[in-house]
Every structure is written in C-alpha cells, then in structure tokens.
Amino acid sequence: MLPLVGLIRRRTGVVALVLAGVLLAAACGGTGWTFSGLGPRLTKGNTVTFAEGPGAAPNYIFPITPTQQFSAYTIGAFQYLMYRPLYYAPREDQPVIDDALSLAEEPIYSQNNTVVTINMKTTYQWSNGEPVDARDVVFFLNLFKAAVKESPANFGNYTPGEIPDNLASYTATGKYQLRLTLTRSVNPQWFTADQLQLLTPLPLAWDKTSVDGPPGEDDLTPAGAKRVYDFLADQAANLSTYATNPLWQVVDGPWHLTSYSTTGQLTMAANLHYAGPYKPVIPNFEELPFTSEAAEFSQVKASAIDIGYVPTDDLPQLPAIKRAGYQVFAVPQFFIPYVTMNFNNPTAGPIFRQLYIRQALQHLVDQPAIIHAVYSGHAIPAYGPVPVGPPNPYASPLEQQGTYPYSLAAARQLLAAHGWSVIPGGVDTCLRPGTAPDQCGAGIPRGARLEFTLDYANAIQPTATQVSALKSDASRVGIQLNLRGEPFNTILAQDTVCTPEQSGCAWQMSDFGGNQFSTYPTGDPLFETGGALNSGSYHDPTADKLIDATLYGDDPNALTIYEDYIARQVPVIFQPDPDLVVVVKSTLATDSTFTALTQGNLQPERWHFSS
C-alpha cells in the first residue's frame, strides 16, 4: 500500500505508519483510500496493482493482532479487506465513523452511559453462508479477553483498564443485538470511536482448537477461549499458508486472499457473498512489496503499476509522470509524526525524563525548513498530540501556533542552565549532578554524556533526511546522535514497552514515522501510562488524569486541556506532517474527490476501469 507518513500500531483512533517520502495524498481505528462518485463502472481487465510501503508489507492475518505486527499496512491494507470491523472509520478524510461501511447501527447509550446497546445490520454474511451476528462479536470478545490475559502484547491496541477490562458483562440479547454493561460511565464519543472500533466479528467456523476438529463453542469458557485463541494465533504465525488455510477463506469483507508470499506480495479476488456497499467491480487486485522508494518509483516511471507514489526527491518528475499517463492526487493526513524516546532505557531514560532535555530536543527541529526543503511545501507543522490537518474540531490554538520553535540558542541555554557543558561539535557532559533547578536531574551522574542512538526507517528518504538534519543541528549544541537505519517492520518489532532490566530495552530513540488517528484523538494509547502505543514508556500522573478526563469526564474542554499539556511536555519530538503524493493510472476512473483516508484503509472495491 502507499506508504503513509507514520507507523501504525493501530488504535481505534491510532495506527503506526512508516514515514513516507511522498507528499500529495495521504492515508492507527480505520482509514483508506477511495475512488468516490465515479459514475458508471466498466471493467476492462482483471487485476489492479498498487504499491505497498517500502519495507512494510502486511504480515499478520488474524484480527487479534500482536503489538509487533500491528501496523496500518497489516490492518487497513490487508485485514479490513477480508474481515470488517464492527465500526469502520474514518469516513473519507473526516475523523468520524463511516455509518455506511459499519456492520452495526450507531450505538445507544443509557443508564448514565454505563450500558451500550448495539443493533447489528442484518444483511451481512460470511462467505460460508452463515450470518454475521451478535454471537460473532461475543466470540471476538471471548478470545480478546483470553489473549490479553495471556499477554497484553497479544493485541496491539490493548490498554490495561480499557476494553475488555471495562466490560462488567456483555451478552447477545438477540440474534443481531448486543448489550455491553460497563464498569463506569464513559464519554460516548470516545467509547464509540476508540473502543467499539476495536471489535471485529469473527466467524464461528474459527471456534476450534485443532486443524481437523469441528467448530464448537469452546470460547464460552475462559479455558476454552484460551485454547481457541492459541490455536488461531499458531495458525496465523504460519505466513506461508495464508492463501491455502481454509480458516482464512471465511470472510465477510469484499475480498478474499488468493495468493500470499512471505515477502508481502499478495493478490485478492472479489468475495461474491459480500453484502455491504460498493460491491467489487474489478475481479482481482495485487499488492506489490518494495524494499525502497527508489525501487517503487522505477516501476511508476516504467508505467508498470496502477497506483503508486512519488518519493519526495522525485517530485520534479511529476510533469513527466503525468505525461506517462498518471493522475496525481494530494490529501492531508490526520497524523502526528514524531521521534520516540525510550524513557526506560537504563542509560538514556533518566536523561529523557527531564523536561528541559525534551524541550531542547524539540527546539532542534527546524519545521519550516524541513517543510520547504524536504517536502517542497507539501506539509504542515506538528507541535502536539492532535493533528492540525485535515481541518477538524480537535486541534487547539496552541497546537496550531506551536510551543518550542526552532532555536539553537534556546536549546543551548536550557542545557547550560541545567548543569551541562555545552560543546558544539563535541559531546556535552553533566557537570552539576543533582535535582536542584540548575542541576542535571534525578538519576544523571556526573560525566553523563548527551549521546544517543537514533534508529530510523531506512527505506523512506525523507525520514533519513530529517534525522540527518536533526543530527546536524543537535551536534551544534553538543548532542551526539548516532544514526542507525533499519527496515520499518524491524523497528516496529523493536519499539515495544519494556523495563530497564530487559534486554529488549536497549533501544534509545526511534523514528518509525508516527501515529495516525481515524476518529477521536485522545491520548490513552499513546501517552497514558501503560498505553498500547506508548512504546517509549512515558509516565506522567498529570497526563494520565487529563487523558482520563477525555475518556470518562463530561468537561467539553477536556480534550483541549489534555492536548495543550502534552504539547508543552513533549513526550516525543514532534515533526512536520507531510501530505502524500499518489499517482493513479488514467485507465482507472477517478474524480477530483479521490481521497486517501486517514489511516491507510484500502477500498479497491470502489475502483473501476475507465471506459
């Protein structure tokens, strides 16, 4: 799929996406691209091809997806095509639930927002002829509970205390009706957009514990649910059988898998039993993996791919690309790009926990220069946890104006004022250890060095350019950044929550891109203690309370208060939010409203060949 600027570990609102070097059309609970308002649909061929993100091929098929595989590419460009979530988001480029593509009507809240009644649509069915109903949602929840009880890392969007922990009970009160009783009153906007969007009905044909065993109801007991989950997770670990395992052929989405390579190359064919809107017109489509932007763009220049993208460095070639028969589209992303710091790294963690250090690092990001030089103006600044674009009701005035603008002088002053020797071109060291206002801070010994390893997604040229610029500016105030390029999926697997004594906590800084929202952009997965996507292990009791108020309180200003606090606390180093340049062959019918939704959900069922 087209590379999105960022990484997804997907939240109902958030997804980890690889920071792409592409500018004009952009894609952590639903996203995608659509060809909308296309008029008559005429087929003139069999297969449409499109480019996956470099080094970021979809790599997990079971919708209860572990943290290490939880990316927008895996969820929105792979799983969602076969297994539809209960509530689909966003709608086009707007951060809201798409009622037309959801499997249920809008939920009904009662009893002071502690009871949720969900009425499912009665038209959907699995490809084996069974209906998609409330029992399928109960099946998912039973396995979900078993999975996260075994290990929180078994589901990439699980946050302790949230779903399924916040369900006092859940039951199918009718064939197509589900009732959830919650442990406390919730903010309905958050619960629908962020929690219910995590639910994906699963076919009862999967309710089994062995390959040859018949489906049953093992999931109805905790021990049985664990056995079923373990069996399905074991099957999902065998990527080479994805296209041949009968389990994965039972789908309710518009597509089913026909071939899959462990390199990420895959094909899908239309599911003739799909009962939702936008029935597939093209019979097949193919996703092509690439190891680099250059490899992908060479296929675009050869006119060998139907839907691709243009790397930032190649934007001057757009006129030639248009002459070669491509259309070009640009859409902003509901996305926050950033560099993650590991607050639990034994050496660097105590340094990153100092607010002045994070402020100094943010002062080193020259966002206006990056937008001009790297993205040719096709990006917007990002200074906090809520995206400024596309236009939305969530971004506060502070987010739009910024908190710590580029200033080498300000960075130097912060370091010097807190007891560091500032050695431009060298490495600063702590001269005044201690916890007084003019000292280095808790846990930082005399002689500690401002030298860190920064891992980055090496297949994306703008990411490499940005971290190189950060390294250069950091050296001017005595901070040494040692850059280490890695494939996107490698970084995604590495950047997980850890404790200082664990061997997996050796990483210090990481630029995998950032996170994408689909709907309500609260911070529980990203910046709350124990959050599913809080890979840097950021911990701040005040932030936790402010996030909690956005989830459970009734203050209409709660989201603004939270986002302004986080913008000032800089738990990550914020970077510009670029658009993505998408090129589409003129043989595919489109209109001027072509959109790439905010988290990279593909919708090839809406594609067709032009007459």
Say what the pLDDT of residue 517 is: 79
Say what the pLDDT of residue 149 is: 97
Please report whether residue 27 resides in a domain: yes
Q: Tell me the mean pLDDT in the region 85-96.
A: 85
Q: CA torsion sign, 230 to 232 to 233 to 235? A: positive
Residue 531 in tokens = 């959050």
Domain count, the chain: 1
Please report whether residue 213 resides in a domain: no
Query: What are the pLDDT digits (tens) for 382-416?
Result: 999 999 888 888 999 999 888 999 999 999 999 99
End-to-end CA distance of the chain: 25
Q: Which of 296-305, 562-571, 585-594 has the lowest mean pLDDT?
A: 585-594
Cα(78)–Cα(48) distance, integer angstroms: 15
165: left (phi over 0), alpha (psi -120 to 50) or beta: alpha
| Most confident range, picked from 290-294, 375-379, 568-572 | 568-572
Please report whether residue 350 resides in a domain: no
In DSSP terms, 574 is beta-bridged to 338
Output the domain CATH number for residue 269.
Answer: 3.40.190.10
Cα(601)–Cα(88) distance, integer angstroms: 10
Cα(294)–Cα(464) distance, integer angstroms: 14
Q: Which of 201-205, 245-249, 327-331, 338-342 has the lowest mean pLDDT?
A: 327-331
- Side by side, the strands of the sheet bearing 177-182 are 108-110, 115-119, 177-182, 167-174
Q: Which of 43-57, 324-338, 585-599 has the lowest mean pLDDT?
A: 585-599
What would the DSSP string read from start to end of 380-445?
E---SSS---S--S---HHHHH-SS-S-HHHHHHHHHHTTB---TTS--BBSS-BSSTTS-BTT--
Cα(87)–Cα(192) distance, integer angstroms: 8
Q: Tell me the mean pLDDT in the region 41-51.
A: 67
Please report whether residue 327 resides in a domain: yes
Confidence of residue 124 (pLDDT cuts 50, 70, 90): very high
Instruction: Report whether pLDDT(143) > 60.
Output: yes
Confidence of residue 309 (pLDDT cuts 50, 70, 90): confident
**Which DSSP letter does residue 505 get?**
G
- pLDDT averaged over the chain? 87
Q: Tell me the mean pLDDT in the region 242-247.
A: 98
Instruction: Report whether pLDDT(591) > 70.
Output: no
Say what the pLDDT of residue 2 is: 34
Say what the pLDDT of residue 6 is: 33
Domain range for 61 is: 15-85+242-333+579-606
**Which DSSP letter does residue 326 get?**
E
Q: Measured between alpha carbons, how far is residue 437 from residues 418, 432, 522 in Å?
A: 7, 11, 32
Instruction: Report whether pLDDT(594) > 90.
Output: no
- Locus of tokens 């050695």: 423
Q: Tell me the mean pLDDT in the region 568-573.
A: 98
φ/ψ (deg, to 5) at 564: -70, -35
Confidence of residue 10 (pLDDT cuts 50, 70, 90): very low
524-529-534 Cα angle (round to 5): 70
Residue 291 in tokens = 């190891």
Number of neighbours of residue 184 by Cβ within 10 angstroms: 12
Percent of the chain residues past pLDDT 70, beyond the cut: 91
Please report whether residue 291 resides in a domain: yes
Instruction: Report whether pLDDT(30) > 80.
Output: no
Query: What are the pLDDT digits (tens) for 414-438?
Result: 999 999 999 999 999 999 999 999 9
Residue 532 in tokens = 């599913």
Confidence of residue 600 (pLDDT cuts 50, 70, 90): low
Cα(585)–Cα(15) distance, integer angstroms: 28
Nearest to 31 by CA among 117, 86, 96, 82: 96
To the question of pTM greater than 0.75 for the whole model, the response is: yes
Burial of 33 (0-12, 13-18, 19+ CB in 10 A): buried
For residue 170, give the H/E element and its range. strand 167-174
- Locus of tokens 């926990």: 353
